[in-house]
Structure 1
Amino acid sequence: MGQGHRDLVEPLDQRAAPQRLHHGGTYRPGRRWRGGTQVRHFGQVARVPGDPILGLLEHFRADPNPAKLDLGVGVYKDAAGRTPIPRAVKLAEQRLSDSEQSKSYVGGHGDPLFAEGLLRLVLGHQSAVLGAGRAGCTQAPGGTGALRLAGEFIARCLPGRAIWLSQPTWPIHETLFAAAGLEVRHYPYVGVDNRFDIEGMLAQLGRVPSGDVVLLHACCHNPTGFDLSPADWRRVLEVVRARELLPLFDFAYQGFGDGLEQDAWAVRLFSEALPEVLVTSSCSKNFGLYRERTGALIAIAADAEGLQDVRSQLAAHARNLWSTPPSHGAAVVGLILGDDTLRGCWQNELDGMRRRVAGLRMGLVEALRTYGLAQRFAHIAEQRGMFSYTGLSAAQVLRLRAEDGVYLLETGRANVAGLDAERLDQLAAAIARVVTD
């Protein structure tokens, strides 16, 4: 043991050369412990880079700068820099604590009260799609789980379809769908001038092979914050209909853009106009249930009978991914959406969060006006949701991190919800220095 861990292993076969495997990887012989016979199975496991967002959080936490500012990880923060638990959630949890009688499984599709409430939240109380029995909800571990389930369904039940993502998009979209075995392709979204490129988007979608899947951000586009107007959405709908594409909406920020009803406008437009649509919904941001992993995949089929076919497949695929979903967060959401008092309390809090983020956007642009940069960064106030594609270069981002303790992604994406209104002038001064030096 005194020789150190490097001397504890030896090659299993010194003469064996690496072998190519059928999946394209390389096999290298295992190694044995010195003085033993047990093979080191993990000796050939390679280290991979960590997640850039979570890695940035680790760097932030290790930074001793007392004035540091975290604009990286996508969580809402209040004026005190905390990620609060909404009062409605705490009240619902208290009720559940007093009334819950069992910790048994909730079933393959999850909590039925959660499903009923979420369907109406996303599609509307007067939805003709719901009235016709064409929509169903399958609970998943967060929006990420819902996306993974959608990828699995597409890969297994609609083989040969590629999925088209905006360029840029949430980085996990790329790996989630690739892990499901889908071919991942891209359509333009933001140009080199850091402006939304609707014409480029429409032109590429018009060339997408018939039957492919197109992922659309329903509102509060992550990472850019640039959203489509109603007129833009109608144009996209016509291309999707003409090319016979399957739309998959990622709806992670309902209520953070322009309001609960307004943010659902595009999803409802497509759902009423097309026979088949997929929607992933997340309760992480709007209910503050980040760690409870509460989300769902909503499937809309041409008729009620076809929906049951789809739901049978979703339940089967979910069984192999996570068996049954977690209960607590869904029970909280179901209780809030089914109780007028709790729902009113929750909606007021959500409205307050949305107004605060919008105010921070306006405040930062105004703070930049002092340095003659209000016009250059006017898009920050025009964007929606928690994130902004600031237009800062990677070099400028690294200078902000090193010189001012301001942490955002090297793409220039900033979490506006991480800002502190009292420090807008400080941030504006730092931005002005790195863009004008």
Structure 2
Amino acid sequence: MVMSVAAPQARGKYSEDKIFGANNRANALADKLGVDRVINGTVGSILDEDGNLVMLDVVRQAFKELLPKDIISYAPIQGYPEYLDAVIDQCFGASRPDGYIRACATSGGSGVIHHVIHNYSEIGDEILTSDWHWGAYGSMCIDNGRKLREFELLNKDRKFNFEDFKAHVTDLVAKQLNTVILMNSPANNPTGFALSGEDWDKVLAFLQEIVTNKEKNIILVPDVAYLDYSGEKSECRRFFKKFGNLPANILVIVAYTLSKGFTMYGQRMGAMIGVTSDADVAEEFVAINQYSNRATWSNSNSAAMKAMIHICEDPEKIKQLDAERANYFALIKERAELFMQEADACGLVYLPYLSGFFITIPLLGSQTVCDELEKENIFLVPLGKGLRLAVCSVSKKKIHGLAVKIKTVTDKLGIDR
């Protein structure tokens, strides 16, 4: 019998992150054989065509301009007011929804998801998300005494599966006071899929209907981690306008992060943005989540907030920010289109991709396929129902021919979709 001194709810917890594990193996092999001989499709960060981790120039300059006090000072628990204003403006752009809007700094987008689970669901509740989702959702639910429940993201026509979404929400509303919904769109991780404007219209109309005249609440969480690489700046934000003027028992909490849009992955800086038609709900949002900041990590990264403030208070720097993002969005799009073109040509099936960092190949036996691909110095991420390829980090030179290599391996192994 294994000795344990952990509390009962903590015993047996263990997590070996497959993404970081595969990345570590790829890097070790690249050090041995040379970077040119290894394809590392695991990294969820932007790498340039030479394989270098990208830091936007405007962000690099902003950090250089920080004063010592900007870097080492304790920040307010809620976040600097200028930071919170900048977050709201950067997130919504010209599509700011009507209503009471409040923001609270968090430790990356992960901090948003943690606080939502912790403060808007009860112990034992189920949290709803799609079957294709970021794996940490499940870990955060379990660690907080909740369960993750999945609806099928895509129907047989490879469109948003509204009917399955509707069935799961209906069941949860009947059983729970609050129904928390994590909706990673646009640029879903791991598929690159996104809800259309019409999809959002159907979702919001249904959510309003399901809680009308009920003492039940919906907490809708659009996780927009990859927003800034999901399309043209104004166009990809239009759906935000739909979140205005919703009933008071529907609270929208946008999970926003500086990790991708500002290439500050390791700075762990983000914000939760509440959108509500009710003043009391807005004030409660700030109070309880600020409290959880203090109770969880105390306060947030001062330097990262100050760097964002320095950029966003200068219109010229914002223009530079937009231009740099647009360039990398175009590069990722070129890589994705090249992969999809070659996949179509060789018959390799992939899930509907619109934008973002990742493309997913649906299949069974993903770990077996990854193990075989690693023999050819190709590293991808095995998922429960497929393989994830990070087009954000693989150069066009290495993308070329990759689909054929994957198809050859799956055919050799007799892998079924």
Contact 2:252 2:274 in 1 (8 A): yes
Check if 1:222 corresponds to 2:189.
yes
Give me the whole-angstrom Cα distance separating, in 2, the residues matched to 1:235 and 1:17. Answer: 51
Structure 2: give runs of 5+ residues left out of the alignment.
212-217, 413-417
Instruction: Kindly report which structure 2 residues correspond to 1:6-155, keeping only aligned pairs within 5 A, or say none.
Output: 23=8, 48-63=14-29, 64-66=32-34, 67-97=37-67, 100=69, 103-125=72-94, 127=96, 129=98, 134-155=100-121
- The residue type equivalent to 1:397 in the other structure is C
From 242, 251, 261, the counterpart of 2:234: 261
Structure-1 separation of matches of 2:4 and 2:406: 52
CA 1:433–1:192 in structure 2 vs 1: closer, same or farther (change >3 Å)? farther
**Counterparts of 1:237 and 1:136, CA distance in 2:** 21
Q: Is the 8 A contact 1:77 1:417 kept in 2?
A: yes
C-alpha deviation, 1:364, in angstroms: 1.5
Instruction: Tell me the residue number matched to 1:295.
Output: 270
> What whole-Å deviation, never above 9, does each CA across 1:117-172 have from its counterpart, x for those lacking one?
1112223457353xx5x1111111111112112222114xx677532111121110
Offset at 1:303?
Answer: 2.7
| Corresponding residue for residue 233 of structure 1 | 200
Structure 1 residues 413-428: aligned runs within 5 Å: 413-428=388-403
Q: Aligned residue for 1:306? A: 281
Equivalent residue number for residue 204 of structure 1: 168
Mean Cα deviation higher: 409-418 or 113-122: 409-418
Q: Is the Cα–Cα contact under 8 Å of residues 187 and 205 in structure 1 kept in the other structure? A: no
- Alpha-carbon distance in structure 1 between the residues aligned to 2:119 and 2:350: 41
Residue in structure 1 matched with residue 303 of structure 2 by the alignment: 328
CA contact 1:249–1:267 (8 Å) conserved in 2: no
Alignment check: 8 A CA contact 1:218 1:264 kept: no
Check if 1:162 corresponds to 2:126. yes
Structure 1 counterpart of 2:215:
none
User: What letter matches 2:119 in structure 1?
Assistant: F
Determine whether 1:171 maps to 2:135. yes
Aligned pairs, number: 393
Per-residue deviation, 1:396:
2.8
Structure 1: tracts of 5 or more residues without a match: 1-15, 27-45
Letter of the 1:372 counterpart = C
How far off is 1:22 after superposition?
8.3
1:166–1:187 contact (8 Å) kept in structure 2 = yes
Query: What secondary structure is seen at the aligned counterpart in 1 of 2:181?
Result: strand
Task: Identify if the C-alpha distance between structure 1 residues 187 and 330 changes in structure 2 by more than 3 Å, giving closer, same or farther.
Answer: same
Q: What code does the residue aligned with 2:332 have?
A: V
Report if the CA contact (8 A) 2:380-2:387 is conserved: no
1:250 paired residue number: 223
> Quick one: distance in 2 between partners of 1:17 and 1:101?
48
SS in 1 for 2:79: coil
SS in 2 for 1:390: strand
Deviation, structure 1 residue 342? 0.6
Secondary structure of 1:281's counterpart equals strand
- Over 3 Å counting, the alpha-carbon distance change for 1:417 and 1:136 in structure 2 is same
Give the structure with higher Rg (CA).
1
Q: Kindly indicate whether the alpha-carbon contact (under 8 Å) linking 1:256 and 1:350 is maintained by their aligned counterparts in 2.
A: yes
Q: Secondary structure at the match of 1:107?
A: coil
- Please state how far the C-alpha of 1:239 moved relative to its aligned partner: 1.8
User: TM (normalized to structure 2)?
Assistant: 0.85
- The more displaced of 58-67 and 326-335 is 58-67
Alignment correspondent of 1:278: 253
CA distance in 2, matches of 1:273, 1:417: 35
Cα distance in 1 for partners of 2:406, 2:233 equals 33
Percent identity of equivalent pairs? 19
SS in 1 for 2:113: helix
Q: What's the counterpart of residue 372 of structure 1?
A: 346
- Normalized against structure 1, the TM-score is what? 0.81
SS of the residue 2:262 aligns to: coil
| Corresponding position of 2:292 | 317
Q: Deviations over 1:162-194 (max 9, x none)?
A: 321111211101111222233332211146897
Q: Which amino acid in 1 is paired with 2:246?
A: A
